[in-house]
Chains A and B, each alone.
Chain A
Amino acid sequence: MRQVFESDSPILAMQPLLLPLIEMAEQRGVSSHKLLKGSRLFNEDLHQPNKRVSFKQVVQIFDNAQTLLSQDGVSFLVARHWLFSQPEAAFQALLNSRNLLDMSRVLQVRQAQIWPLMFFQSYRSANARHFVVNPAIAQVSAPCMEFMAEFLIAVIDQLCRWRFDMVTHLTVKLPYAQPKHVEQYQSHLQLQYHFSQPCFMVSVPTTYMYRPQTLALTSMRGFYLQQSKHAENNVGFLQYVCSLLALSPKQSATELSECLGVSVATLKRKLKAHNTSLQALKDQLQKQQAVIHISERGCSNEQVAQQLDYADVTNFRRNFKRWTGMTPSELRKLFN
């Protein structure tokens, strides 16, 4: 049984990311004290090998890092360091997967050990795969989202350069406007990126999903998967709720609270403590499905409305505008 954890559960072993971040900050004249401010953590705490931190603390640190150091591109630099110093068996399984498709499957089952802060939902279109990425534990502030997104795409970029030699064919859509430090994106990334998009999404042409990973030993994949089988396999609160919603998108608060084994009031309180609500999560899911239908699959409004179980198109268009700030036809124009 997977254990669900919340944003204030001290459960994350983040040292491989936080310690290099602190060191890089110090090399750039920002003391660890400033970087950790408000997180109730001290540099010494993180040097204890078994120290676990909560997601709330991580968010605070990422917020600080983005405010103090985004101009220095530390999110990108830390990502590079993190990628090349991963000791986890689960990560080794990733490096020995046959191809990207295989990698995405390994990631699906070992995500808790590799990158527990965000999760992805995979969608198919005629000639590409799309991975929509969302925070796994709680909704986060804008600077924190930017930091996590930069970190993640820098890891993906480096990984694809290192293992596949096809990074320029990847496209990333980012859910925020072009930041002031766009030169960091230009200098660190070889993949294609677009700002001000409705969802955070990584797209790979289907042919490249099957390109073999040159340095992999596929026999080691199974070995490392076995090795990492008994490691903790916790799932973040938001990810868990989203997975329940994905199974039955129309369920009510009562049904959902029964699945989680808590009262409706507790569910509402918990969702609020994770900066969201049931309606917001339902909207998020429908929004990303609608966006995939429209921008990646070229569906008409009628088709999407039908897919998403809307009685009429007007209603769907109104909701779509509410979710994304643009009409379906405006989104279509954005991509043509």
Chain B
Amino acid sequence: MTDSFLKLHTRLLLLLGVFIAAAICMVSLFGSAKPASEIDWIDCFGEGGIAVMTLIWLLATLLTRPKGKVTNLLFLGLSALHISLLLDFLDEFYRFDLEYDWLTSLEALPATLGMGLMSLAMYFWYHEQQVLNHLLQKKERFYREHGLTDFITGLYRADYMKKQVAGELQAYRDSGTGFCMALLDIKGFSEFNRKYGGVRSNSLLSDIGQIITLNLRESDLACRYASDRFIVLLPDTDLVEAHAVIEQVAQMVASHTPYDNHNSALGFEGVQWQCMSARKDDDHNTLLQRLSQSLNELKAVAA
């Protein structure tokens, strides 16, 4: 993934190369080298270090971000900052000839400009984050911990849900606001897996994860549970209401048509689900176990 991001930025990398080359050319054209005795090596090390660090930040930014306005602004800001620091570093080895001495005073100018650009970038970044937060709405509640996400579906994993359920149970005992949990299981997933292979099954899981989150209310939370199971937390909801919500989700999932590479539809039947309300004496383990157990019983009857 990161690999392809860097490939997107060949132009920007080229531009960076030009900037750096220009700075070096300028210094070597208009200046002359200092004798070795005049060079302060400790200062060189310090200033060189800052210049290298900004270059690393710059590359990290390009590695981790797709193309776009925010990326461009971050790039330009960091590049300008880097040029300033580079000039400062080269200063240790070169002295500008007398008629170009005014160049020394311009050294800090790119950095000022760069910091201005980066501030602007931060502002747009904030907006971008707002948009992403909105997309994540039904996938997370109050708390962000990227280590707990499931790689295949992009949803949070069971561990995240357990923390949320523990919190909800505490709130239920304290304030009496009940909630419901639902567990959804893809029908015939192991046959699907055997028939179409792991990659296609993974993308089916990811699709279904998306459909579930799309069809939940804003307050609900969906996570990947394990294997072909998804789990949903419906806060401040009674069982009748929860049934209605999950029934709607199940209908939407059932109407999903997965396609293979040649665009023909693959057989897929939808989900089985079980929904129950929490009890005050539950802890998150017993609640999830009870839910899992009753889904297993339902499956056994259906089979």
Give chain A's interface residues, CB within 8 Å of chain B.
23-24, 27-29, 71-73, 76-77, 80-81, 84, 168, 180-184, 186-188, 190
The verdict on A84 contacting B194 (CB below 8 Å), with A183-B292, A186-B289 known, is yes
**Interface flags, B180-203, vs A, CB<8A=1, else 0:** 000001000010011000110010
Residues of A within 8 Å of B225, CB to CB, are: 183, 187
Pairs A–B under 8 Å by Cβ, sample size 13: A27-B151, A73-B226, A80-B190, A180-B159, A183-B292, A184-B226, A186-B293, A187-B225, A187-B226, A187-B227, A187-B292, A190-B296, A190-B300
Q: In the complex the two chains form, is B227's CB within 8 Å of A27's CB?
A: no
A76 closest partner in B (C-beta) = B227
Task: Decide: B190 and A29 in contact? CB cutoff 8 A.
Answer: no
Q: Which residue of A lies closest to B194 (CB)?
A: A84
List B residues at the A interface (Cβ < 8 Å).
150-152, 157-159, 185, 190, 193-194, 198-199, 202, 225-229, 285, 288-289, 292-293, 296, 300
Closest CB of chain A to B181's CB: distance in Å?
13
Provide the bound-state CA to CA distance between A24 and B194, in Å.
Answer: 15
Task: Specify the chain A residue showing the minimal Cβ separation from B231.
Answer: A183
Assess the B296–A188 pair: CB atoms within 8 A. Answer: no
Minimum C-beta distance from B225 to chain A (A): 5
A-B pairs with lowest CB-CB distance, top 3: A186-B292, A187-B226, A187-B227
Measured between beta carbons, the chain A residues less than 8 angstroms from B202 are 27
* Residues in A whose Cβ lies below 8 Å from that of B293: 186
Chain A minimum-CB-distance residue to B227: A187
Interchain CA distance A73-B185 in the complex, whole Å? 16
Q: Which residues of A contact B229 (CB under 8 A)?
A: 183, 187
CB distance from A16 to the nearest CB of B (A): 15
Chain B min CB distance to A311 (Å): 44
By a CB distance below 8 angstroms, the chain A residues around B289 are 182, 186
Chain B's nearest CB lies how many Å from the CB of A86? 14
Q: Is the CB of B198 within 8 A of A73?
A: no
Q: Answer whether A168 and B226 are a contact pair too, CB < 8 Å, given A183-B158, A186-B292.
A: no
Q: Which of B158, B199, B228, B229 counts the most A-chain CB atoms under 10 A from its CB? A: B158
Closest partner residue, chain A, to B288 (CB atom) = A183
Distance, CA A183 to CA B284, complexed state (A): 12
Residues on B with C-beta less than 8 A from A77 are: 227
A181 to B148, CA, bound (A): 12
In the bound complex, how far is the Cα of B158 from the Cα of A73, in angstroms? Answer: 12
A184 to B199 CA separation, bound complex (whole angstroms): 20
Contact yes or no, A168 B227, CB < 8 A = no
- Checking A29, A73, A81, A183 against B151 with a beta-carbon cut-off of 8 angstroms, the contacting residue is A29
